[in-house]
Amino acid sequence: MAALKLYVDSRYSSPYAMSAFVALTEKQLSFELIPLNLDNKDHHQLAYSNASLTKRVPTLVHDGFALSESSAIAEYIDEVFPGIKLYPGDAKQRARARQVQAWLRSDLMPIRTERSTQVIFQQLSAKPLSASAQEAAAQLIFLVEQLLPANGSNLFGEWSIADVDLSLMLQRLIYNRDPVPQRLVNYANFQWQLPSIQAWVKLNRAQR
């Protein structure tokens, strides 16, 4: 098997890098983790930008093929490597999981701005949510309540990588003690105990 390399941020706080890390770890694949100092613009160096194309983390390199964007990475390794499936087997549920991932990456900007992953990995925010962030939080809660089965621990019966991305977005609110229904807190906390997620969390703590 060709060597795998995953480029991530040196603070281990990127939600997208975490998603790719969890995907590779859940597949039980051996890979080299390469941190980049984004403050020093390591991701703008010519060699990396030529490979990544988007000049962002994460970027996966497999057998000379470089791919950035975490959802694209998850889909690629799910198709190429055996092991646990990262996406549901049912076509409609698989499409729904991809919809959730795309929405989390393209919407909810007020939450991502006012509740960055620093509230999870570094320190809490003392500022209350703005009106726009409260609206975004309501949209997030609505979506999860619609998709999460009653008494369910996963969105689609079995775990998928969409559960990781969705639980992290919820944890931005939960960690900062913003209002979240208890059922959704239970769901997010259940996902957060996944060994692969905890392995990422420990990387963040180790670099402090």
Examine the domain organization and report whether 65 and 129 are in the same domain: no
pLDDT tens-place string over residues 29-67? 999 999 998 877 767 787 787 877 888 899 999 999 999
The CB density around residue 102, as the number of other CB atoms within 10 Å, is 11
Mean confidence (pLDDT) of the chain? 92
pLDDT at 134 over 80: yes
What does the pLDDT average to over 197-208?
Answer: 83
- Global pTM? 0.92
Q: For residue 56, what are the domain limits?
A: 4-85
Query: CA–CA distance from 72 to each of 31, 52, 101, 164 (Å)?
Result: 17, 12, 10, 15
pLDDT at 155 over 60: yes
Domain end, chosen from 63, 85, 107, is at 85
pLDDT at 140 over 70: yes
Q: Strand, coil or helix: what is 13?
A: coil
Domain end, chosen from 85, 107, 142, is at 85
Examine the domain organization and report whether 80 and 99 are in the same domain: no
**Confidence at residue 2, expressed as pLDDT on a 0 to 100 scale:** 56
24 within a domain of the structure (yes/no)? yes
Examine the domain organization and report whether 62 and 128 are in the same domain: no
Examine the domain organization and report whether 169 and 112 are in the same domain: yes
**Confidence at residue 206, expressed as pLDDT on a 0 to 100 scale:** 66
Examine the domain organization and report whether 96 and 169 are in the same domain: yes
120 within a domain of the structure (yes/no)? yes
* CATH number of the domain to which 114 belongs: 1.20.1050.10
Q: Tell me which residue of 180, 182, 168 sits closest to 121, measured CA to CA.
A: 168
3-state SS of 50-88 is HHHCCCCCCEEEECCEEEECHHHHHHHHHHHCCCCCCCC
- Of the chain, the end-to-end C-alpha distance in Å amounts to 34
